[in-house]
Amino acid sequence: MSRRLFLPLLSLALTLGLSGCWNSVELNQFAIISGTGVGYKDNQYEISYQIVIPQAISSSSGTGGSSVSPINVFSSLGSTPIEAVQRASLEFPRTLFFAHNRVVVVSEQAARQGLTNIIDLYLRNQENRETVSIFITRDNPKNVLKVLLPLEKIQGSGVLKMTTVAEEQTSRVRRTRVYAAAMTIASRSASAVIPEIVITGGIPAQQTTGAWDKSSSSATLKFGTNAVFRYDKLVGWLNAQESIGVNLVKNEMKSTTLTFACPRDSNSLYSIRVSDVKSQLHTARQGDRAVVTADAQLKVVLIEADCNGQLASPEQLKQAQRSIEKAITGYMEEAWQASVRLKSDILGISDLIYRKQHGIWRSWENEKELPWTQVDFRPTASVTIERTGMSNDSFRTLLGK
């Protein structure tokens, strides 16, 4: 047999003694984590873990009818997050598996201490994924992980679906991943906006599978406002209008519903649906000062009206457009004022000036603190009402009231 043929055959023969996986671990030795919580009290981190129970997930279809909870939540303490994770091995019979972790919920106290340790843990440790979504809560993160959702067995996945719906339908919250928060905190703007998750209702009753046997939930999770960070520390909160304004300025709005007073009757209201929105930030220089213009262009559809008069008339449409433009401009101005008040460059002005007005940026480098607040911020809005729906007049007008 020639040497050329012998060596390949020998190599194949040697592989016959090898198993397919020589470092495999049985699945029943892992505890799959779908969500984690980070609290801080008495100079210690409390890390909570939401463990998926496979027997409950693979039981009868639907959420009702199962007496086994689909999740189990426990926690451990440590002077650092990783120390708390290691101490979990002292009280849990399986190895914690973080690859399927979907959400990390951070308490207000831990957020005010800073996200540095948490972000470093997710960026450095190969078992954790930096694509996990991060939320801030004023409640106990452990209690947040305990709340069972009506339509989702795995609560961590359910929270992600809630984020998608809220992001597309309201534009008040935006999904923030750990790596995205790290990038904005490390940028020249040195800030971040992270959504808040809150518990509403009675917590204990919604922590057992008996909650699924009821037609209404005694407690549920919902998104509140948005947490604002300067560098890695929590400095304050945005309200609903400010949150919308931030997403408008940063061109991160997808769609939302807004309600305004009627042009001729402040006691009556009408609602619009934003179907398309584009916004841009432009810079100019006036002397030694930077001028930043936020230009938002929106296409809207009228979806509800309680106004008198013909809504499709050109005069009414122009009045409605002007009032909507004024309100949109007000949202963006509120976002700017919130940014200045909280001393956090959440609109990304510093990054913009660095890219577009480098001469001004060089003069800012000698400033000790918050040079971006010296910018002349000018929001503008242009609104086009595409449709008024299937009726030209409101039902109030048809009734003659």
Number of domains into which the chain is organized: 2
341 falls within a domain: yes
21 falls within a domain: no
> Given this model, what pLDDT does residue 3 score?
65
- Dist CA 371 CA 365 (whole Å): 9
Spell out the residues 6+ positions from residue 377 whose beta carbon is closer than 8 angstroms to its own. 292, 294, 333, 336, 349
Check whether residue 85 and residue 228 sit in a common domain.
yes
194 falls within a domain: yes
Q: Are 97 and 25 in contact (CB under 8 A)?
A: no
> Given this model, what pLDDT does residue 353 score?
93
Reported as a single tens digit per residue, the pLDDT across 135-148 is: 999 999 999 999 98
Any idea of the CA torsion for 149, 151, 152, 156, to the nearest 10 degrees?
A: -50
Nearest in space to 289 (alpha carbons), one of 352, 337, 353, 333: 353
5 falls within a domain: no
Spell out the per-residue pLDDT of the chain, length 401, in tens: 566 677 777 777 777 666 666 566 666 778 889 999 999 999 999 999 999 988 776 654 444 445 678 889 999 999 999 999 999 888 888 888 888 899 999 999 999 999 999 999 999 888 888 999 999 999 999 999 999 888 888 888 889 899 989 888 888 889 999 999 999 999 999 999 999 999 987 655 445 555 556 656 777 899 999 999 999 999 999 999 999 999 999 999 988 899 888 877 778 888 999 989 999 999 999 888 899 999 999 999 988 888 776 666 788 888 889 989 999 999 999 999 999 999 999 999 999 999 998 888 888 877 767 899 989 999 999 999 988 877 777 767 767 65
16 falls within a domain: no
Check whether residue 186 and residue 268 sit in a common domain.
no
234 falls within a domain: yes
Check whether residue 234 and residue 247 sit in a common domain.
no
22 falls within a domain: no
Check whether residue 219 and residue 280 sit in a common domain.
no
Check whether residue 318 and residue 176 sit in a common domain.
no
> Given this model, what pLDDT does residue 61 score?
45
Check whether residue 321 and residue 390 sit in a common domain.
yes
Nearest in space to 220 (alpha carbons), one of 155, 160, 138, 174: 155
Final residue in a domain of this structure, among 238, 256, 284: 238
Check whether residue 292 and residue 255 sit in a common domain.
yes
C-alpha of 113 from chain center: 20
Which residue shows structure tokens 């779908």?
A: 34
> Given this model, what pLDDT does residue 152 score?
81
CATH number at residue 375: 3.30.300.210
Check whether residue 350 and residue 369 sit in a common domain.
yes
Dmax (CA) for the chain in angstroms is: 104
> Given this model, what pLDDT does residue 63 score?
47
Check whether residue 196 and residue 314 sit in a common domain.
no
Which domain, by its residues, includes 85?
27-238
Q: Are strands 219-230 and 191-201 parallel, antiparallel or unpaired?
A: antiparallel
Q: What is the pTM of this model?
A: 0.85
Residue 244: its H or E element: helix 240-249
Which residue shows structure tokens 């340790």?
A: 117
Final residue in a domain of this structure, among 201, 222, 238: 238
Check whether residue 34 and residue 91 sit in a common domain.
yes
Phi, psi for residue 397 in degrees, rounded to 5: -65, -40
Burial (CB < 10 A; 0-12, 13-18, 19+), residue 42, is: exposed
Final residue in a domain of this structure, among 211, 238, 265: 238
Check whether residue 246 and residue 355 sit in a common domain.
yes
Give the DSSP letter of residue 262: -
1 falls within a domain: no
> Given this model, what pLDDT does residue 324 score?
92
Q: Are 228 and 235 in contact (CB under 8 A)?
A: yes
Check whether residue 58 and residue 201 sit in a common domain.
yes
Phi, psi for residue 53 in degrees, rounded to 5: -95, 105
